[in-house]
Amino acid sequence: MAKENKGKRQTDTLKKVLLYIRRYLFLLVLSLVFAVVSVFATLYVPVLTGDAIDWILGPGNVNFPNMIRILTQIAVVIAVTALAQWLMNVCNNKITYGVVRDIRNDAFAKIQSLPLKYIDGHSHGELVSRVVADVDQFADGLLMGFTQLFTGVLTILGTLGFMLSIHVGITLVVVLITPVSLFVASFIAKRTYQMFRRQSETRGEQTALIDEMIGNQKVVQAFGQEEKVQQRFDDINQRLYQFSLRATFFSSLTNPATRFVNSLVYTGVGVAGGFAAMRGMISVGQLSCFLSYANQYTKPFNEISGVVTELQNALACAGRVLELIEEEPQLAEPRDAVSLGQVQGTVELSQVYFSYDPGKRLIEDFNLKVRPGQRVAIVGPTGCGKTTLINLLMRFYDVDRGQICVEGEDIRQVTRKSLRENYGMVLQETWLKAGTIRENLLMGRPQATEEEMQQAAKDAHAHNFIKRLPKGYDTVIGEDGGSLSQGQKQLLCIARVMLCLPPMLILDEATSSIDTRTEMKIQNAFAQMMKGRTSFIVAHRLSTIRSADVILVMKDGSIVEQGTHETLLAKNGHYAKLYLAQFAP
């Protein structure tokens, strides 16, 4: 049963890969044509050579004019073969790299539409390995498949044809022995697929570890954990060694095994041909032609079996990428999804239930109504789930029950784009993309003018430090902000939002890494920005909290209190406790 499933999975993968190849049908046909030309031309050479040899009978018995005629023919055939071979290779490259490009693009597009739950729940390193390493392996296999599978099959068919035209009996000898070769090859291939899959899985596991540890190498070193980590790495490495060794060895058995069958075929032809020639049924030249065919006929079996193992490996890799491509995307937008347009900023949460893990209750029966321009401060002890609320507002996650409405529309009924366009978000975890400062700032509004951009940077107090960078706004910053300090990154994130100024704001500890002197200055800009805009602010500073219209006090994922500064103080509950703690450090 299990075996059948594996086999089915493999054919499924193959079918999907073929769908990708279908886009290159024209090139594929072209490649096939060239393959046919080159194979038949190649096969014609031994026939001509055999003819030539038959004109070389013995001392004083050589027909030179006929020889020269045949040799010229050979020269022409060679030229045709070479050209066809080259063109075929070019076509095959184009198809392979095209297919790989398409698969990568699809995989990447899928990443863009996956629910955050999937991305948060999977190791990034492993996903990257699927898009990069697996696809690469797949390309290698596919290329080999094209270059050798076509020509291999054609060579076999062509040789059979030519051989039959010379002598049926000897051909039968060849045909009877070769199935052994096929049998051996498929036997080995079946065993190998499993091992390749295990090898591929272990590689994924190792990539994940590398990603985690090398990505956070500084922590590893700070704790002197190099040896421990190395040990974990070596454990996986050792397992990988075992699987790789088996996969590599078993797959490489195909070659010697089929070669042995070849030599049997060769001998068979030798014996049968020898006896036939002895009885004068064929000429010596034809025997030489047969022997050379016996070689050419069986070599493709070698190659094909080699290709088959390579293709199996490739399919295992393709399977992993396709798995990603076929992953369930985030809930599609309803066909009649509304585009929100510029909103006033009414947000209403009614009877919202949500949890990341069905087993653990988090937000339950949460109700909140925010009028345009109101400020909502979210306070509470560290780790009380303030970020969860943002995940829901931005629709990074969908609510389990209840609904969130913006401007009276359930946010599941509006387009994600228009919903998110209406929010400006500055997160505590600053993220910048590799590229120039300019590219980063223009992210929310690519069409902004230079003046607008600089003004936004000035408002965020980022202009000065940007000016001091080697190339100003065109300075390229590396992966994840590269050499910028946490605070500088945060300023850039703020400037990024200031440039698009959407009607609603989400500020998650937006200034946690900025020194207070700078922050004071930004505050003004912030105040300006928040004027008339509905804002959700996760904050610690009481000044910000106090001036909020609604304060949500959260604890353990749920909202425990809700009200204004005064009413909450009067209540003498959680908020009052927090408030007092701050003033009595």
Helix (H), strand (E), coil (C) string for 106-164: HHHHHHHHCCHHHHHHCCHHHHHHHHHHHHHHHHHHHHHHHHHHHHHHHHHHHHHHHHH
User: Tokens 């045909």 belong to which residue?
Assistant: 175
What count of residues does the chain have?
Answer: 585
**Cα–Cα nearest to 500, from 456, 438, 461:** 456
What does residue 131 show for φ and ψ, rounded to 5 degrees?
-70, -30
- Nearer to another protein by C-beta: 1 or 125? 125
Residue numbers 151-190 binding another protein by CB under 8 A: none
Which residue lies nearer to another protein by CB, 248 or 413? Answer: 248
Burial 494-504 (b: 16+ CB within 10 A, else e): bbbbbbbebbb
CA 573 to chain centre: 50
Rounded least distance, CB 4 to another protein, Å: 29
Sites for another protein among residues 196-225 (CB under 8 A): 203, 206-208, 210-225
Give the residue, chosen from 7, 161, 478, 532, that forms a contact with another protein under the rule CB under 8 A.
478
Q: Are 220 and 213 in contact (CB under 8 A)?
A: yes
Q: Least distance from C-beta 162 to another protein, angstroms?
A: 15
Number of residues that bind another protein (CB under 8 A): 182
φ, ψ for residue 347 (rounded to 5)? -125, 130
**Which ranges in 431-485 belong to alpha helices (H)?**
437-441, 450-459, 463-468
Nearer to another protein, 89 or 350 (CB): 89
- Both ends of the chain: CA-CA distance in Å? 67
* Binding residues for another protein restricted to 94-113, rule: CB under 8 A: 94, 97-98, 100-101, 104-105, 108-109, 111-113
Where does residue 289 rank: exposed (0-12), middle (13-18), buried (19+ CB within 10 A)?
A: buried
Minimum Å gap between C-beta 453 and another protein is: 15
Interaction with another protein in 488-527: which residues (CB under 8 A)? Answer: 488, 491, 493, 496, 500, 509, 512-520, 527
**Beta-bridge partner residues of 379:** 553
Number of neighbours of residue 122 by Cβ within 10 angstroms = 15
Regarding 578 and contact with another protein (CB under 8 A), the answer is yes
Token reading at 204: 């994924």
Helical H segments across 326-372, by residue range: none
State the minimum distance, in angstroms, from the CB of residue 11 to another protein: 26
Residue closer to another protein (CB basis): 350 or 525: 525
**6 versus 284: smaller Cβ distance to another protein:** 284
- Which of 6, 201, 255, 327 forms a contact with another protein (CB under 8 A)? 255
Q: Which is nearer to another protein, 61 or 449 (CB)?
A: 61
Residue among 157, 182, 394, 525 that touches another protein (CB under 8 A) = 394
Query: Do the strands 558-563 and 409-410 form a parallel or antiparallel pair, or are they unpaired?
Result: unpaired
Which part of the chain contacts another protein (CB under 8 A), choosing from 9-17, 171-179, 264-272, 345-353? 264-272
Selected range binding another protein among 90-98, 155-163, 333-341, 364-372, rule: CB under 8 A: 90-98
* Min CB(1)–another protein separation in Å: 31
Stretch that binds another protein, among 17-25, 338-346, 417-425, 449-457 (CB under 8 A): 417-425
Segment 50 to 89, residues that bind another protein, using CB under 8 A: 52-53, 55-62, 64, 67-68, 71, 74-75, 78-79, 81-83, 85-86, 89
- With CB under 8 A as the contact rule, the residue among 403, 428, 455, 562 that binds another protein is 428
Residue 289 Cβ, how far from another protein at the closest point, in Å?
10
Residues 284-313 that bind another protein (CB under 8 A): 284, 287-288, 291-292, 295, 299
Q: Which residues have C-beta within 8 Å of that of residue 500, sequence separation ≥ 6?
A: 424, 444, 445, 448
Strand partners, 515: none
What DSSP designation does 477 have? E
